[in-house]
Structure 1
């Protein structure tokens, strides 16, 4: 259970104690944000109406303000903290007992300690109310000023960290702070020099020289200027020092118990994602970000206890900034949070990347971590530099058209074995046969698993992983992709890797000899070498015109002119509330797109409930697939399929394709098979969606 919180940095997230986020409209969110930043000072209703409803008449503005005030008051009453006061013509918001990220950030960012400054930058997930602007000039003027003020505080905090880390000769930390600062202020030549010196102090002269080139290009492109003499002199000095000998990496693992055999764990940081604490670590300071998502369960700290695993992590950090997470419900992240969905885990990853200032990242998904990385790459291609898939799959269990996965009976046997073995030295005959005779590795792995999840949670997550099916989104992945598969992997067969490579555009497939499923098993250096090739070759992405979107089609039976206006208003309000975008309206049919399938379902349910008092004859369908963007217009097979599938929905029903159902496994939604639709791109099953709670903050 999480406490009441209001997070405005990087978006809008409001929730009470164990309560779902309230269904605020955009303007109600804007009002909450504005009042929250007034630190409890009362604001007049007249001022708020003019700020948020400047384009409406006075009567309409006051009515809209009353509705927003009512929604916020109810939410505050349910939150278990804070006070929303309305006294006559004035309104004030007091965030007593709330975790308010802006206030926490301001306090930490003005501290002089390194620890507080680092924590401030974890709290600073992005711009104030990022993605929640309004077409109201008075509010936008205020928001622009506040965003810049907070952004400059983040820049100042990073500036101090660069100075303090440099003074302390902590060059790895200095490089990380400088890189994040340059992402915000790319023309700061003094910070480019600090990053060059940090790289050089670590013996990474080539990276330092590359940084000079980035600095030179940015100055020339944006300011038509050459680097300052001090910068050029530093470059010449470093170039003279550069050695031409290539480094050689070999796997040298000290014997267990020898000094230095267990490295010190990297610092663990946390970021909130929909109220859940997600743990992450960063190591290495390479020029490209690499996010590693492990399968099943993990523990960031205990990973360093295996000399083999630590060796792999260190090597990955020699050519990247390696970012690792414990997924929700596992390891150092919040436990007991219920079954996840791929969509939730994807948003957790996005929250971590926002927290560390990673704009474009190479995703490395292993085993059950692979499907989520595939979904992220298809959903956020502009943030995905490349995709590495190792020992992973598109579907978790056997089917006639996917006959390589484990059968339901085999899954039951696997789970029974996990339950029997839990707490004992780990059985590695399937996960890593090459390590099965290493008693130290078995003891460590058993402790690693015990500290990653409880037995019940581990079994539930294993079963959840077998219910995944991402086959339908593979054609929507358009980033450089490497699929790696061991020929003798006992958990994921080579046919599954080949399937991925066939269905992901331009994917490169590589089979390596060996039987180990774990990345730190046999011949792990060869695996790292292949990852290095794609990471160091990751190129800037061209603007993508193909997007993975959830499409919602709504049909309302013809009605009188007044009713049509009411229907349109209800649909428009809910699309705004659930971040949907109307793309087509024709007679009694409306098409809209969403980035997340659960938002599309929640929006459909909310519209159905809103239309009930109007006795409207409503039905809708939802599908997810690749769409093409042409400025403000969208097209694609997914849109046409969704539109045609409406014929299969009965009045009052919301139907969703099998693709949607498979992607939100773990959401708690119930589906009943509805039938199949034939036609391009082939037969597609649809399911009736049971009623679900409406939650615009999910």
Structure 2
């Protein structure tokens, strides 16, 4: 039997009620609205939907009401209202409905055992279609960015399905060759890695681990903690790690030395062209990869890039006991990682103070940086740009940090958490509080604040040669919007994108997160970097 309501987002939008295909509204914007509501699976403010899909010269509110009327005629079945709307928000009730793209993502995410081959083949056939086909340009730039992000997610799902088919034990030789060829076309580096491992296993009769099939996260955690404890003589306690870490691909962690001999930990995950992220407040290669704050963002990037991160000196898996904790040293940490991995030309991702580090590196090494993506950044730290009152407040917070950072009372660390993510859930804030305490020492937390306050690369902005995208939350309580705008206006031909958020660190439940990821993917694709 067919489900009462079937929705196809792969290919052109299609709606089936009790197995019968429905006639969709002729308006492309109405179809785009329905696809957006179904795919996002959460209510949205009416004002936001109007901005997303209708130009101001029109009557956006009337257009939204008209579109909802048309959509209801298609999806409301047997007296059940699927469109849930009040004066403030509009959402779609997908309970009991079959939504092809959503259901594929859910099955891949929750899979505990191998899929039957016919089920994988059906998914591969569906994912071969262009998601939301025909809806390009139905809304503004934010809608196009969201569309790009959704298609990237679908592409990553297709690559995973092809991998599962190419390595499936129950598929005979001839169809297996087909799936191996398609997998190689979609993800050549990982497919080649698997092929080399298979050849090696055949040659010496052993079974070797392939990327993504290494030790469980818990074992990796224990091993890394033991390694760091042995090298530094201090205990490392693990913060509470979310269960969302399960299923993420294993990252490869290594160490290199900065110019002054400091050990810098770095990690890479995924396949494809490299994207190097500069360090920011605060990093821990293992814990932030598995975190409810960063985990989904990092996993999304790793679906289409070789994503490289590192812990700057003074925190995470890098050396904590360091003499030099300055902006110059932060840039040298970045240089050490890029040199160690022999990256010839690559885009840089900077977040918060990592933006200034990325800009300085790009000016020093223009031949190596193909593009800059800067999120929530600034060119001058609080010692240079803040008012006397704000500077006094920062000094007081620094003193509180040094005195109370390592205690069980989260109030000291909560000062940071609240300004970083005012709209995060209580659980996420609790995780971030605990994460910060485990990531660095009280002394280093205070020293970091001093170093960030002294940053000043305003004179370097005009020297940037790489294509640059600057994104900044409109209502950022940590780094005000005008500081991000100043970065964009100082870099020649930089593109500036304000985001509808109060969070300095975007969380994956807010629309701005999707817009940010989609805009970044679109920028990298347009620039061919």
Q: TM-score, normalised by structure 1?
A: 0.39
- Residue 25 of structure 2 corresponds to none
Residues 268 and 306 of structure 2 are in contact (CA less than 8 Å); yes or no, is this contact kept in structure 1? Answer: yes
Residues 303 and 310 of structure 1 are in contact (CA less than 8 Å); yes or no, is this contact kept in structure 2? Answer: yes
Deviation at 1:304, TM superposition (A): 2.7
Deviation digits for residues 525-548 of structure 1 (CA, Å, limit 9, x no counterpart): 2221122122233447xxxxxxxx
1:320 aligned to which of 305, 318, 321: 305
Change (3 A) 1:290 1:404: farther
User: In structure 2, how many angstroms separate the alpha carbons of the residues matched to 1:407 and 1:420?
Assistant: 20
- Residue 421 of structure 2 corresponds to 432
Higher relative contact order (CA 8 A, sep 6+): 2
Change (3 A) 1:476 1:364: same
Deviation at 1:416, TM superposition (A): 4.1
Structure with greater strand share of residues: 1
Equivalences for 1:356-435 in 2 at 5 Å? 356-397=341-382, 399=384, 402=385, 407-419=390-402, 422=405, 423=407, 424-425=409-410, 426-427=413-414, 428-435=417-424
Deviation at 1:360, TM superposition (A): 1.0
Deviation at 1:204, TM superposition (A): 7.0
Equivalences for 1:60-459 in 2 at 5 Å? 203=183, 205-208=185-188, 261=246, 263=248, 266-274=251-259, 275-286=261-272, 288-397=273-382, 399=384, 402=385, 407-419=390-402, 422=405, 423=407, 424-425=409-410, 426-427=413-414, 428-435=417-424, 437-438=425-426, 440-459=427-446
User: In structure 1, how many angstroms separate the alpha carbons of the residues matched to 2:490 and 2:245?
Assistant: 45
Change (3 A) 1:525 1:421: farther
- Residue 467 of structure 2 corresponds to 480
User: In structure 1, how many angstroms separate the alpha carbons of the residues matched to 2:467 and 2:242?
Assistant: 42
Deviation at 1:283, TM superposition (A): 0.8
2:518 aligned to which of 526, 529, 546: 529
Q: TM-score, normalised by structure 2?
A: 0.51
Higher radius of gyration, 1 or 2: 1
Deviation at 1:508, TM superposition (A): 0.4
Question: How many residue pairs get matched?
Answer: 298
Structure with greater helix share of residues: 2
Residues 296 and 462 of structure 1 are in contact (CA less than 8 Å); yes or no, is this contact kept in structure 2? Answer: no
Deviation at 1:419, TM superposition (A): 4.6
Deviation at 1:447, TM superposition (A): 2.6
Residue 430 of structure 1 aligns to a residue in which SS? helix
Change (3 A) 1:258 1:328: closer
- Residue 167 of structure 2 corresponds to none
Residues 331 and 357 of structure 2 are in contact (CA less than 8 Å); yes or no, is this contact kept in structure 1? Answer: yes
**RMSD over equivalenced CA pairs, Å:** 3.3
User: In structure 2, how many angstroms separate the alpha carbons of the residues matched to 1:202 and 1:419?
Assistant: 55
Residue 354 of structure 1 aligns to a residue in which SS? helix
- Residue 485 of structure 2 corresponds to 498
Deviation at 1:336, TM superposition (A): 1.0
User: In structure 2, how many angstroms separate the alpha carbons of the residues matched to 1:538 and 1:389?
Assistant: 15
- Residue 212 of structure 2 corresponds to none
1:516 aligned to which of 495, 498, 503: 503
2:457 aligned to which of 470, 480, 488: 470
Deviation at 1:208, TM superposition (A): 4.4
Residues 305 and 444 of structure 1 are in contact (CA less than 8 Å); yes or no, is this contact kept in structure 2? Answer: no
Unmatched 5+ stretches in structure 1: 1-170, 173-196, 213-255, 541-698
Unmatched 5+ stretches in structure 2: 1-162, 165-176, 193-240
Deviation at 1:291, TM superposition (A): 1.0
